[in-house]
């Protein structure tokens, strides 16, 4: 029986049922377990969002405190992993993250525990330690000494502290906390689907997360915000409006894409971009330098007017991270610092009601049957 013809890239193909993330691309709706992203970004902490994704409900004060304690206890990296980090050659941040996440599995005494409780414990541990890996990697790459996590600080504050060596102010903490919330999950994006496919084989969580990291590394998934910031830096902080316009129109003339625009799902503005735009503007005002925001706003206006494309989550996150002093090489790894919450939520969901994910392919090769010709007659 012939198979139905799928769209390229499995577009609009429903691959599974999930209770984690709701998307309506036509209306620009993103919700975690029924909670609109705008409400979560405005009111919840990233730790609350983690609990929500893992348990499908918001935590009580006691439950949140317990999770915060579990994250604090797991945040310090095993010393052998730190030594491995120091020994790596100069590599991209995502390459380092892929290797170091795999190494973390060897130092988790409960990493092979696939029970419901064991898998959840690993999800918490990975969420804590991937943040520490990225922050410590960034610290070492900048030539700084390793900063131990502070058990009193929350997740966002600890990342910034371990990265910079300075205790972050409340504005930076809140901005980064919101950024983590906005990136926490996004239904069956490429990396999440990759993680679920791996988990469906009943491999361990570490292996499934490494698979997801490999997918996120690809430039068609992660990395657009780094490309956005490189574009802004190429234009220069003192770029005039005319230079910006000429640059963008030159891209159009050469049929080159502008990084940070368009989305596979959304037909209206990416709801995450709404918050990041405001954060970029506010950080610019607070630091006394709105050049990066102003430039981004002008690019957005031109792309929207001439190409009818809206900015996605990556566009304004670039200038937001840059004004927080975060190195460009860490932009995509930071995506993983947040998305590990969604990845593990989907992996846990897959384990709970598992069936091996094994789609079919639409065969378009030579007609069957082909007659085999002996080697000496070819």
For range 200-223, the mean pLDDT: 94
Q: pLDDT of 217-245, one tens digit each?
A: 988 888 888 999 999 999 998 889 999 99
For range 292-313, the mean pLDDT: 92
User: Which carries the bigger pLDDT value, residue 103 or residue 313?
Assistant: 103
For range 55-62, the mean pLDDT: 98
Is residue 242 within 8 Å of residue 332, measured between CB atoms?
A: no
Residue 41 CA to residue 39 CA, distance in Å, equals 6
Confidence of residue 1 (pLDDT cuts 50, 70, 90): very low
Residue 311 dihedral angles phi and psi, to the nearest 5°: -70, 150
* pLDDT at position 6: 62
Confidence of residue 5 (pLDDT cuts 50, 70, 90): low
CA-CA-CA-CA torsion sign (38, 41, 45, 46):
positive
Among 110, 147, 152, residue whose Cα is nearest residue 132: 147
* Integer-rounded Cα radius of gyration of the chain: 22
* pLDDT at position 314: 87
Active-site annotation, residues: 263, 314
Local structure of 302: helix, strand or coil? helix
Instruction: State the average pLDDT for the chain.
Output: 93
Confidence of residue 60 (pLDDT cuts 50, 70, 90): very high
What are the E-state strand segments in 13-100?
21-24, 29-32, 35-36
Written as six digits, the tokens of 7 are: 């769209």
Is residue 333 within 8 Å of residue 93, measured between CB atoms?
A: yes
Written as six digits, the tokens of 283 are: 């950080």
Distances (CA, A) of 358 to 16, 124, 140, 206: 12, 29, 41, 21
Residue 26 CA to residue 265 CA, distance in Å, equals 8
| Res. 294: pLDDT tops 60 | yes
For range 328-355, the mean pLDDT: 97
* pLDDT at position 224: 85
For range 67-89, the mean pLDDT: 97
**DSSP summary character for residue 32:** E
Is residue 204 within 8 Å of residue 112, measured between CB atoms?
A: yes
Q: What is the largest CA-CA distance in the chain?
A: 78
Residue 328 CA to residue 234 CA, distance in Å, equals 13
Residue 180 CA to residue 45 CA, distance in Å, equals 9
Q: pLDDT of 111-170, one tens digit each?
A: 999 999 999 999 999 999 999 999 999 999 999 999 999 999 999 999 999 999 999 999
For residue 359, give every residue at least 6 positions away whose Cβ sits within 8 Å of its Cβ, in sequence order, or none.
15
Domains and CATH numbers, the chain: 224-323 (1.10.230.10)
| Res. 292: pLDDT tops 70 | yes
Rounded percentage of the chain residues whose pLDDT exceeds 70:
98
Written as six digits, the tokens of 302 are: 């031109």
What are the E-state strand segments in 133-227?
none
Residue 313 CA to residue 228 CA, distance in Å, equals 11
For range 330-346, the mean pLDDT: 97
Residue 309 CA to residue 330 CA, distance in Å, equals 26
Is residue 216 within 8 Å of residue 94, measured between CB atoms?
A: yes
Question: How deeply is 9 buried, as exposed, middle or buried, from its count of CB atoms within 10 A (0-12, 13-18, 19+)?
Answer: exposed
* pLDDT at position 264: 77
In the chain, the N- to C-terminal Cα span, in Å, equals: 33
**Preceding amide of 369 cis, omega within 30:** yes
CA-CA-CA-CA torsion sign (198, 199, 204, 205):
positive
- What is the CB neighbour count within 10 angstroms for residue 254? 7
Residue 166 dihedral angles phi and psi, to the nearest 5°: -120, 145
Is residue 297 within 8 Å of residue 337, measured between CB atoms?
A: no
Among 124, 149, 120, residue whose Cα is nearest residue 47: 124
């Amino acid at each position: 029986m012939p198979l139905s013809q799928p769209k390229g890239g499995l577009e609009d193909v429903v691959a599974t049922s999930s209770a984690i993330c709701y998307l309506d691309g036509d209306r620009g709706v993103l919700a975690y377990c029924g909670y609109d992203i705008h409400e979560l970004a405005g009111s919840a902490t990233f730790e609350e969002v983690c609990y929500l994704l893992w348990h499908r409900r918001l935590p009580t004060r006691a439950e949140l405190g317990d999770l915060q304690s579990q994250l604090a206890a797991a945040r310090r990296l095993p010393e052998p992993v730190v030594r491995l980090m120091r020994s790596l050659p100069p590599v991209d941040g995502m390459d380092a993250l892929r290797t170091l996440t795999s190494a973390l599995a060897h130092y988790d005494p409960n990493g092979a525990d696939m029970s419901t409780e064991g898998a959840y414990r690993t999800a918490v541990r990975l969420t804590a330690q991937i943040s520490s890996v990225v922050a410590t990697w960034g610290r070492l790459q900048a030539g700084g000494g390793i900063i131990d996590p502070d058990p009193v600080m929350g997740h966002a504050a600890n990342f910034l502290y371990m990265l910079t060596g300075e205790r972050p102010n409340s504005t930076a903490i809140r901005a980064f906390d919101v950024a983590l919330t906005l990136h926490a999950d996004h239904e069956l994006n490429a990396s999440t689907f990759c993680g679920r496919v791996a988990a469906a084989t009943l491999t361990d969580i570490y292996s499934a997360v490494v698979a997801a990291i490999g997918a996120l590394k690809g430039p068609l998934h992660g990395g657009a915000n780094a490309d956005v910031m490189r574009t802004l830096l190429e234009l220069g902080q003192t770029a005039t409006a005319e230079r910006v316009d000429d640059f963008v129109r030159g891209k159009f003339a050469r049929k080159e894409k502008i990084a940070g625009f368009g989305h596979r799902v959304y037909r209206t503005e990416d709801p995450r971009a709404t918050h990041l735009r405001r954060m970029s503007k506010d950080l610019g005002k607070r630091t006394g330098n709105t050049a990066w925001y102003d430039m981004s706003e002008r690019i957005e206006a031109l792309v929207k007017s001439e190409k009818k494309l809206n900015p996605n989550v990556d566009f304004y996150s670039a200038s937001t991270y840059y004004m927080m002093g975060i190195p460009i090489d860490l932009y995509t790894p930071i995506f993983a610092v947040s998305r590990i919450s969604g990845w593990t939520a989907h992996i846990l969901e897959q384990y709970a009601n598992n069936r091996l994910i094994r789609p079919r392919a639409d065969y378009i090769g030579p007609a069957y049957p082909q007659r085999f010709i002996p080697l000496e007659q070819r």
